[in-house]
A = this chain, B = another copy of it.
Amino acid sequence: MRLLPKAKNLFFLILQKFLKGVWGKLFSKSFPQHNHTMDYQISDRMKSMKGSAIREIFKYAADPSVISLAGGNPAPELFPNEALADFAAKFLSEQPVLSLQYGVTEGYTPLRDAIRERLARVEGIGTPDDEVIVVSGGQQGIELATKCLINEGDTVIVEEPSFIGATNAFRSYNAHLAGVPVEEDGMNLEALERVIAENKNVKMIYTIPTFQNPMGVTMSVEKRRALYEIAKKHGILILEDNPYGELTFDGTKVPTIKSMDTEGIVLYSGSFSKILAPGLRLGFLCANKAIIQRVVIGKQISDVHTAMLPQLLAHAYMTNYDMDALIAQMRANYAHKCHTMLSAMEQYFPADVFYTRPRGGLFIWCDLGHGLDTGALAKKAVEKKVVFVPGSTFMVNMEQPTSTLRLNYSTMTDEKIVEGIKRLGEVFSDALK
């Protein structure tokens, strides 16, 4: 008997435990308790997975009276929605088959060409052995790369802290995660060498080298070169995730690791979420053709192809409008908001709080020190109607309390940013008393 009816089944117990935890308040809103009699056997790969706390906070943050410094949402005022409205009406009206019939798994060919052109021009990426596949958001590129390349028990090295969407993708295939600390100029490479030596079957290094999520720091070009050489020496793939790279405040750019890739060992994950609009669910993966051929098969199985309308809209925008000008607006907007947040932090945060000073991207990373647990503080902040993401979310071991947290400045207005930081300053000052 595979479906055991029990009065209190295991899943329910785990859920209950979870509800009592740090995020109890948030989760109890989104997952109301209910009775069910079956004890479903969840697969080994998924049974210990928890939902992303960020996605759950996102639901909570939908309350307009809450100041959300938690998400990674781009500023909606910069969505080129009127242009997209015109394109959508035109495509659906004039090209119904293109817009609504099945498409090919690799993606709409003109969009792939436009992505290739932009990657070459802006990031120095692309060799004759590379191929591009359109995916349903950067997240899907990471998930498919994992499915196609990582066996259960293989080690994936991740920056610590790192993006939970990626670490959860690795976890969901029962990969072994090994963390490497991140410094102001990127991964600690001595620690990386040590982690490689100490772990078996190291298959991939996952990095967000530019405006890292959650730290906001950027890996130096020297470290990028050294990282590439280390990976090459050990025969390890690099998954370079670069959703924020174009959001540089002062226009300076550090070369992508993929642009140094003579051996075909770098998979480059890109996204339209932060430079056009995330609701389109549009990203791409660029890697050696042999890898992309496998990813295409994985994508056939996953969702056949990415929805046509988002692909058509992105291509039309890229080829009819000045995408660089749109991104320039975003850069200025985020630079201003980041400055606003940093100024408020200087004013309202306790004096010895450490925080990063990003030169691009969407996030500031803080460390309160003093053995504080930001998981517990997040509950107190929720009472003051401010949400942020505690640092433990981004760690290999998510159960261990940390004194770190991530702040986002891209979504809220200046006034809300200042008010949110002021309230957080009160919470943190109280905790330090």
In the assembled complex, how far is the CB of residue A242 from the closest CB belonging to chain B, in whole angstroms?
A: 17
B290 touches A306 (CB 8 A): no
Interface residue A199 (Cβ < 8 Å from any Cβ of B): no
B101 touches A279 (CB 8 A): yes
Interface residue A129 (Cβ < 8 Å from any Cβ of B): yes
Of A36-44, A112-120, A397-405, the stretch lying at the interface with chain B is A36-44
Residues of B within 8 A of A73 (CB): 101-102
In the assembled complex, how far is the CB of residue A72 from the closest CB belonging to chain B, in whole angstroms?
A: 8
Of A78-86, A216-224, A339-347, A371-379, the stretch lying at the interface with chain B is A78-86
Q: A88-B309, A203-B2, A307-B310 are in contact. Are A148 and B297 (CB under 8 A)?
A: no
Q: Indicate with 1 or 0, residue by residue over A26-56, a CB within 8 angstroms of chain B CB atoms.
A: 0000010011111011111110011110010
In the assembled complex, how far is the CB of residue A307 from the closest CB belonging to chain B, in whole angstroms?
A: 4
In the assembled complex, how far is the CB of residue A280 from the closest CB belonging to chain B, in whole angstroms?
A: 6
Within 8 A of B (CB), among A230-256: 234-237
Residues of B within 8 A of A59 (CB): 104
Residues of B within 8 A of A105 (CB): 51, 55
Interface residue A140 (Cβ < 8 Å from any Cβ of B): yes
Cα A288 to Cα B9 in complex, Å, equals 14
B100 touches A79 (CB 8 A): yes
Interface residue A384 (Cβ < 8 Å from any Cβ of B): no
Q: Indicate with 1 or 0, residue by residue over A265-299, a CB within 8 angstroms of chain B CB atoms.
A: 10000000100011111100000111101101110
A41 touches B129 (CB 8 A): no
A43 touches B148 (CB 8 A): yes
In the assembled complex, how far is the CB of residue A261 from the closest CB belonging to chain B, in whole angstroms?
A: 11
Of A164-172, A205-213, A352-360, A386-394, the stretch lying at the interface with chain B is A164-172
B102 touches A278 (CB 8 A): yes
B165 touches A304 (CB 8 A): yes
A76 touches B96 (CB 8 A): yes
Q: Indicate with 1 or 0, residue by residue over A302-339, a CB within 8 angstroms of chain B CB atoms.
A: 11111111100000000000000000000000000000
In the assembled complex, how far is the CB of residue A309 from the closest CB belonging to chain B, in whole angstroms?
A: 6
Q: A36-B129, A100-B277 are in contact. Are A301 and B172 (CB under 8 A)?
A: yes
Contacts A/B (CB < 8 Å), 5 sampled: A38-B288, A40-B290, A55-B304, A71-B102, A79-B101
A residues touching B (Cβ–Cβ < 8 Å)? 1-3, 11, 15, 31, 34-38, 40-46, 49-52, 55, 58-59, 71, 73-74, 76, 79, 81-82, 84-86, 88-93, 96-105, 128-129, 136-137, 139-140, 143, 147-152, 165, 168-169, 172-173, 203, 234-237, 263-265, 273, 277-282, 288-291, 293-294, 296-298, 300-310
